[in-house]
Structure formats: structure tokens, C-alpha cells
Structure 1
Amino acid sequence: MSRPQSWVPTDPRSAPTREHVLSGLHGTDEGGAELVQLLTPEGQRVSDDRFGSWADDVGAEELKGYYRDMVLVRRVDREGNALQRQGQLGIWVPLLGQEAAQVGAGRAATPRDMIFPSYREHGVAWCRGIDPTDLLGIFRGTDHGSWDPIEARFHLYTIVIGNQCLNATGYAMGQKFEGKVGDGPDAEATMCFFGDGATSQGDVHEGFVWAAAYDAPVVFYCQNNQWAISVPLERQTRVPLFQRARGYGFPGVRVDGNDVLACLAVTRWALEECRTGNGPVLIEAFTYRMDAHTTSDDPSRYRLADELELWKLKDPIERVRVNLVREHGVGQDFFDEVQAKSDELAARFRAFCVAMPDPGPDRMFSEVYAELSPQLAAEKSAYLEYHASFEGA
């Protein structure tokens, strides 16, 4: 059945049909000309006139590295899920199915670039050198993140939906004001991650407005995983998300979010656009959330099993494995080695989690303020004295 033509409103009170909405949203890897793809679901490397050159340096060794990244990140994610189910974590936010979108974008950034995540970017954290065990405190309730965001060039996780877009835009404006944008080798850019659900939040739109007005060097990276918890994408927008950038005056690109090479190439291009002073870019990584929104969610209540089965055929890790075998002759020994490393990482991740000590009662004071005011010092002293008065404290 042919898709309906693009819907153009003649009456501002009119609305598109469901078929029109769906045709606009899902014109993707099934022949959609606007989708950037370099690696098909069948593992075939294909060309792209606009972005293909940005991944020309990726050969067998580089592709093996991205495969290793995605396998290890998925293994940590599955272990985190299991730990929550066993009562070791208060909550876990799965990234299953979004490994390529995160690893491709994360590996595209240089050490000078600054990244602002939401709360699902475990794969980006991995690419920035954050040990997976550093994520555990957030979900175990012992801290808000145990890495130095300035040193890692990776901000702490943001739980408030979309708020990181304002933070990222402000940081990028600072990069421009301080002369860190241009053709020099020390040029910087900022990248901000958020989901399709966040595009319905005012903070995201305010970030777009300010970034456009000041030509801020920020890449807005939307991982469109099709579901904002239980709300499908067609309930949030009448047009594909990447087209929204046009309304703010900067470019928008839709990329196959299950294709690590395409995500790498498009993000490299976008970051370079920002570093050289061409202003913000919006990337829509079209992917799918294979698991629940969080471990508090039950996706079986709002989506069909056949939708999930369809996306399993587009698995981001499997297409890289097939390419490595068919086009590069990579043998089973490599895949066995990666599997063994993933098991070792999962065991270390689990052991660290189980052995994590409870934070001391002074933590809310010692890890919040750089210097305590006299009033806070008195409050701390009174609180610790009160806490110590309990039996077994």
C-alpha cells in the first residue's frame, strides 16, 4: 500500500489523519530518503554522499572496537537490570537497543568537547571513560554521581526531563563567549542527549531558542526510541522530530540510530559544524527502546509484542557482527574474547554494587557545599549529635 502524500493544512483548525501522521514519522529505513544509514540491518556497508566520508577511516579494527563497546555496554545494562530486580538497586534505566546511538555519538566527540546526558546514557559514559561502577551510586541512592564532570567532560546525570538542554546551551554559549569556537585545533563544542519525550518539554524548546539566537556550538542529540514511557511518538508530534530544527533556524538530520557507523559519521559532522562557528545542529537518532522505560515500568501494558519482534531484526550489535564476519573475515575467537570480557565486567560490576557501603550521615553536608557557613556547620553538628543518640547508630 502506498503511503499518503504529505499533509498540508488548509484550515488551522484541521488535523491530519492517523495515516498521515504515521507515514511522516515512520518513513525511515524502509526506503525513507531522509534517513542516513551506512550499515544496513543485514550488515552491509552502504554509501552516503553527504556523510559517508565522515566514517571513511573506519576499518576492521575500528569496527571491532565499536562492537566491543556495544557488547560491554549491553552486558552492564543487563546486569544493572538484574541487580534492581534482586533489590540491590532502587531503580535502573535500561538502554537495551540504543547501544549504537550512544556509542556512535560518544566516540565522535573529542576530549575537548563537553557532554550533557539525561539518565540513560550509560554507553556515552563508557565512551567518556566513566567506569560503569561510578553509575551505581545514582541508582542505589548513595550519591548523585561519583565522577568529576569537568575532568571527564561529561556532566552528571540529569533526572529532570529536558533540563540538561538549558544547561548544555548555557555552557555552549560560554564556549563561544570565551573564544573556544573557530578553526583552531583547540576548538570545542557541546553535545546534549535527550529522548523523544523530552521534546514535549519547555526546557528543550527554550534551549533551541537560545542556541539559535546566539549560534551556540551545541549538538542536540535526540534518541527517538519511539516511546515517552507509555506515550507513542505519534501522540507528541505531527512531523518527524528532526524537521523541528527548521523552525528554529538550524539544521536537523535523521540518522539510523541502530547504525553505529551512521551515528558516528553524522555526529562527527555536527560537532565540527558547531566547533567552526556554524551554530547548533539537531540530530534525531531513530532507534527503539527494547526494554522498559525504567524498571518501574511495564511496557507490555501499552505496546504490542510484534512491534518488539520487528525491531529485534534491526539489532545494532548483530548488524556489526555480521559485517565483521562477512566483509572482514573476523573469526569466532574475537567474539569469544569479547564475550569473556563482558562476563568479567559484569562480575566486577555486581561485586562492586553488593559491597557498596552506606554513606555516612554527614554526606548531605560534606558533598553538597564547598564551604559550610556558620549556620550550616551548626546544623551539621546538631544533626550528627542527634543521629548518634540512637541505639546502634
Structure 2
Amino acid sequence: MTPSDREATGLLTRPDDLVRLLDQSGVRHASPEFDPWVADVDLDALIRLHRDMVVVRRLDSEATALQRQGELGLWPPLAGQEAAQIGSARALHDDDFVFSSYREHAIAWMRGVRPDELLSVWRGSAASGWDPYARRMAIPQIIIGAQTLHAVGWAMGARWEGTTSASIAYFGDGATSEGDVNEALVFASSFDAPVVFFCQNNGWAISEPVGLQSKQPLARRADGFGMPGIRVDGNDVLAVLAVTRWALERARRGEGPTFIEAVTYRMGPHTTADDPKRYRSDDDLAAWRERDPITRLHAHLAASGADIDAVDADVKEAADRAAAELRAGLTAIADPEPMSVFEHVYAEPNSHVERQKERFARYLAMFGDEDGGTA
């Protein structure tokens, strides 16, 4: 079967194969199927990808530290998943729409979300962080897997309107056990929705290993829904970029949805309220540290003739600047007025909400805060 035949039948690669262009040591390997999708990625573009990953890892470590310092109520770290998020984000067009879970901070950063917008929810200062229409990215979904249904609905609407835009839904391996995700796959397949399902298989659904959820690679589930499923090395930013571009192009051509399983690893806890040492071994973590996506691309840049000292200096400056912006953005977040919690609950006046509002105002008045201001 030729590559074109395999693409036409949705069998571009078997889901138990792992698409990889950069190996663990940063060595570039040829791929007749996927090299064309990254033919435009020159050395400068690789340096930018490296910078993106280093910056978002720094932002993630800063936010984790801010939570430990009591400035944030909670934070879900993304360390280890930078390549999966940056590679796929770089494949998106400006008019595409992102529907994410709560860990896709790198995606948000790449879509132009400001630091204060990124942190306000986790600080408890707002019910949502940013204008989804301005950023072309929905507010992160806390309910596991619900965003996949939203992505399919948006994609169906985009197709009916005759646009070439596509949506992408990000979720973890644990979400594949949820009914919402499976229902979304049914609808997407039935209506040939231009949507990409991007599963970041980071090995753990909180404390449950992925092997307890599925006896087969998660991408194989796509077969039952009549769509191509493909596995990619989620720590290889170049391969992720290629695979996501391919899947999005299928969607734009009207060929329907694709399921991508990016095999990666959550280096830190599920959230800052979690202790991963209770359920995984140090040896397991050490093995995955050797597959670090940033170290891998850095090695490839050094071997490709990049001025690595200049690259490192530029990346450090960018990361320091982003970290400073993050902390400055945090201090700029204003505490909300207590009564504002009732705003935007319903589009129209609602008597139930009005009763709660009245009772809460009386409660605040007990503390000498009759005007509903900050006590």
C-alpha cells in the first residue's frame, strides 16, 4: 500500500506504531510520510520551538512556586508535556478554535493569553480567565472530557457555515474513560466534523496508570468510531507538529475527525494538591527524565550547528522576562467585589439567584459591609 493509499483509507500509520522524528538523543530520523509536513521547519524555526518550550516550563515552575507561597489556590503542572502542547499549538491557524482541559497552559500562552488571565481562576479571583472569542480558545474545562463535546459542536457549526476552520480538543488519558469523550467521538464521526481529538497520554489519571484503563493503545479506540487514530511521541515536538498539521489538514478538506494519542509523561503531580510519590517510583520518573522534550531538541540544535551559547542566552532572557511578567500579572489581579459572584450566572433575571443575592447581602451587612464591598 502506498502512502497516498494509506492516507486515503485512514491508515496513515498503525496506532500501535509511534511516529517519531527526533529520537531520545536528538538524532533526526527520516519519515517519508511525515517529513513533508515539517519541510518548512528550518533551524530558526526549531530554535523558536525550543524557546517556546523553555519559556512555558519556566512559567509552569513559577506558577507552582506561587501556589506553594500561598498566592494561588491550586495549580496543575504541565512539566514534561511541553512538546505535546507547543508542537500542536504551532500547527493551529489563527481561526481555529481550542477546547482544552485544565493543564494546557502552554496552549493558552501560545494563543496570546496574558499572565493575569492565566492565573486569575487559580487565584480564585474570577470564574473564567479570558475572552474565548478574542483568544480563539475556550475557558479551560474542569469537568473531565466535557470539552470534547463542545469542540465537536463548534466544528459541526463551522462546517455548516462553509468555513475551513477546525477545532481541537485536548484531554488526558483518564478522560477517554468518560462518556462525554465517547459521545463526542460518535457525533464527530457521524457528521464528519472538522475536529482533532488530541489525547495527551501522560501515563496517569491522577493515581491510576493508563494500563488499568486500556489493554490496547488508546489510539486504537478510534477504529471503533470510524476515524483514523495515530500515536506520536509526545516528547518529540517536531513529530507532534507534523502529525497535528496532517490531522488538521484532513479536517479542512472535509475528511472528518482524527484521534491523536501523544505519548508523554507528567513529570510533576496531577495538581499541587497531589503527591505522586505515593503511586509511582523514582525509577519510572528517572527513565522519563532521560526522554525530556527540551533536552532532546537542545541536543538536536547543538548537533545541527546552532550557536548553542547564543541560543541558551536568548532563551534564558525570554524565560526570565516571561516569569517577571507572570509575577507582575499576578499582583495586578484585583480582588473581586463579593456581590459580583452573582453576575453573568444567567442571561436573564432569575428569581432564585435574586433571593441568594439578597441573603448574601444581609450576611455581608453583619460585618459592617452593607454596600457589598470587599470586607
Q: Assess same fold via TM > 0.5.
A: yes
- Among 152, 158, 162, which residue is 2:135 paired with? 152
Structure 1: which 5+ runs fail to align?
A: 1-31, 181-186
SS state at 1:194 partner: strand
Deviations 1:30-69 (A, max 9, x none): xx97111111111112111211110010011111111111
Conserved? CA contact 1:77–1:95, under 8 Å: yes
Report the CA distance shift for 1:33/1:195 in structure 2 as closer, same or farther (over 3 A): closer
CA distance in 1, matches of 2:32, 2:169: 26
Question: Which has the larger displacement, 267-276 or 340-349?
Answer: 340-349
Structure 2: which 5+ runs fail to align?
A: 1-14, 370-374
- For residue 360 of structure 1, what is the amino acid of its counterpart? E
Deviation at 1:175, TM superposition (A): 1.3
1:352: which partner in 2? Answer: 329
Matched, 1:74 2:57: yes
Conserved? CA contact 2:115–2:330, under 8 Å: no
1:334: which partner in 2? Answer: 311
SS state at 2:21 partner: coil
Matched, 1:242 2:197: no
Conserved? CA contact 1:227–1:289, under 8 Å: yes
Question: Which has the larger displacement, 267-276 or 338-347?
Answer: 338-347
**Counterparts of residues 1-393 of structure 1 (less than 5 Å):** 34-180=17-163, 187-370=164-347, 372=349, 380=357, 383-384=360-361, 386-391=363-368, 393=375
SS state at 2:230 partner: strand
Deviations 1:258-313 (A, max 9, x none): 01110001000100101111011000000000000111111101111001101111
- For residue 171 of structure 2, what is the amino acid of its counterpart? F
The alignment-based identity, stated in percent, is 49
CA distance in 2, matches of 1:33, 1:51: 17
CA distance in 1, matches of 2:228, 2:170: 17
Deviations 1:211-264 (A, max 9, x none): 111111110000000111111111000110011101110000100000111000
SS state at 2:274 partner: coil
Deviations 1:107-141 (A, max 9, x none): 10001111100000001111111123311111111
Conserved? CA contact 2:43–2:306, under 8 Å: no
Report the CA distance shift for 1:179/1:384 in structure 2 as closer, same or farther (over 3 A): same
Conserved? CA contact 1:122–1:132, under 8 Å: no
CA distance in 2, matches of 1:97, 1:191: 21
- For residue 189 of structure 2, what is the amino acid of its counterpart? A
CA distance in 2, matches of 1:320, 1:375: 55
CA distance in 2, matches of 1:33, 1:282: 13
Report the CA distance shift for 1:377/1:33 in structure 2 as closer, same or farther (over 3 A): closer
Deviation at 1:146, TM superposition (A): 2.6
- For residue 368 of structure 2, what is the amino acid of its counterpart? E
Over aligned residue pairs, what C-alpha RMSD do you find? 1.8
